Chain A
Amino acid sequence: MSAELVVQIRVDADVLLARQKAREMAKPLRFSASELTLIATAISEVARNIVTYAKRGQIMLRLVSRGRRRGIRVVAQDEGPGIADINRAMEDGFSTSSSLGLGLPGSKRLMDEFDIVSALGKGTTVTMTKWER
């Protein structure tokens, strides 16, 4: 299993693939079953966003380490319409109930590190990392 992988995201089936690849990649690390599901769920959220709003993009998976701790880093990137107001998108309530929900604050809660760069017309890049405890 290589330490870095890119999954192209265009259709729903790709979301599943990205999740599976992430689980495989994270397997040798010290993650509990719950943590693996958290990672897969966060990936599902951002990947579905790509499919729904950007039409195409990619998910890059990479194993990282900081000192003795290891982790998995997920970078979800697309050239879609971008998010006009990131602050609002990161607010709870805006995301979960409305049909346009992006599930971003939720993804942030699931992972340890979360970063988002986006602008109207410039696409979106979400970087998330989960570390071993």
Chain B
Amino acid sequence: MAEQHEEAADRFADGTEISEQELAHRKEFLELGEEDVARLTAINDLARRYADAVIEDFYRHLLSFEDTRSFFGDPQVLQRVKNMQKEYFLRLTQGNYDLAYVEDRLKIGAAHERIRLPIKSYLGMYNFYLRAVAARLVDAFKKTPDEAWSTFLSLMKLTFLDIGFAIDTYINASERTIRAQQEAIQELPTPVLPVREGMLLVPIIGIIDSLRARQLTEQLLGSIRSNRARMVVIDITGVQSVDSRVANHIVQTVEAARLMGARVIIAGISPEVAQTMVTLGIDLGRIMTVGDLQSGIERAEQLLGYVVTRSRSGETATG
């Protein structure tokens, strides 16, 4: 279980792209330079002495609040993140804040995101750190308070660099989810159904945006070829609104189908939609339209030369 988290975090870090250039830019923006690095590495020994205590205080703080406690219920998870935090804490004062450092930070952020720790809690943790270290800095540099202050500012700069990356991982995770959901929606096919030999039915539901309309048209044209369809009934009963943009898409689809030898009937034009189209001056030209799906199918059958009869008894014989 722990390994899975680690792997996922690794893959995550790979997904976020931070270049040398970007890192340099961020450091420049935070005015994090060589002197800051020097000050931080200077307090590495100090950090080692206080690391355990700071981490314990830190988690005691987290566990004392209900909403953060729930994330660390699993003792295995708790121990793992404690270890990671100690490493993180010490790493802050080890210098060498390069791309490898950043990768590490991204992994940690990802690990916290994966357990769904809210960003506010994650940021709250940084707040705790800075205060915990500030207190110890004041203590250690009693004789040279200026140095304590400068060192604290350097630490603050570095912490903000880290926070920036942490937020990136959270945002990236959200964006990935959104993208995945969008793809899933795109992939929900608008079915193109062969209902008779030579006839396709395309029931459209919901909102047609340009992308969906394009995909639908491409799909329909492909189906016309593979099904050798000569008639297509496009049912727009489920389409919420037909404005001139949608009408344009419909006209284009019909024209493209015709180039492939198929005729299209637009079925399911409700009285409301008809009214809107008249009001907007939308003219579908010579495209065949009917009010309901049933009429559309019957008309298509007629044009294909089908004759539908009902057997006299109206019931299938059994036995």
Contact = CB atoms under 8 A, between A and B. Distances in A.
B57 interface: no
Interface residues of B, number: 2
Contacts of A34: 218
Nearest to A68: B17
A34 B218 CA distance: 8
A132 B218 CA distance: 17
Interface string A16-54: 000000000000000010100000000000000000000
A32 B186 CA distance: 15
A34 B217 CA distance: 11
Nearest to B214: A34
B201 to A, nearest CB: 22
Contacts of B211: 133
Contacts of B218: 32, 34
Contacts of A32: 218
A24 B96 CA distance: 45
A101 to B, nearest CB: 18
Nearest to B211: A133
B273 to A, nearest CB: 27
Interface in B216-262: 218
A133 B211 CA distance: 10
B155 to A, nearest CB: 33
B272 to A, nearest CB: 31
B15 to A, nearest CB: 11
Nearest to B186: A133
A116 B211 CA distance: 26
A32 B218 CA distance: 10
A20 B218 CA distance: 22
A34 B252 CA distance: 15
B80 to A, nearest CB: 32
Nearest to B17: A68
Nearest to A33: B218
A133 B215 CA distance: 12
Nearest to A133: B211
A47 B218 CA distance: 26
A70 to B, nearest CB: 15
A34 B213 CA distance: 14
A34 B211 CA distance: 13
Contacts of A133: 211
Nearest to B217: A34
A133 B218 CA distance: 15
Interface string A110-133: 000000000000000000000001
A34 B220 CA distance: 13
Interface string B188-224: 0000000000000000000000010000001000000
Interface in B280-304: none
A133 B186 CA distance: 12
A109 B211 CA distance: 14
A7 B213 CA distance: 35
B219 to A, nearest CB: 10
Nearest to A32: B218
Nearest to B215: A32
Identify the 3 closest CB pairs spanning chains A and B, nearest first: A34-B218, A32-B218, A133-B211
3 contacts: A32-B218, A34-B218, A133-B211
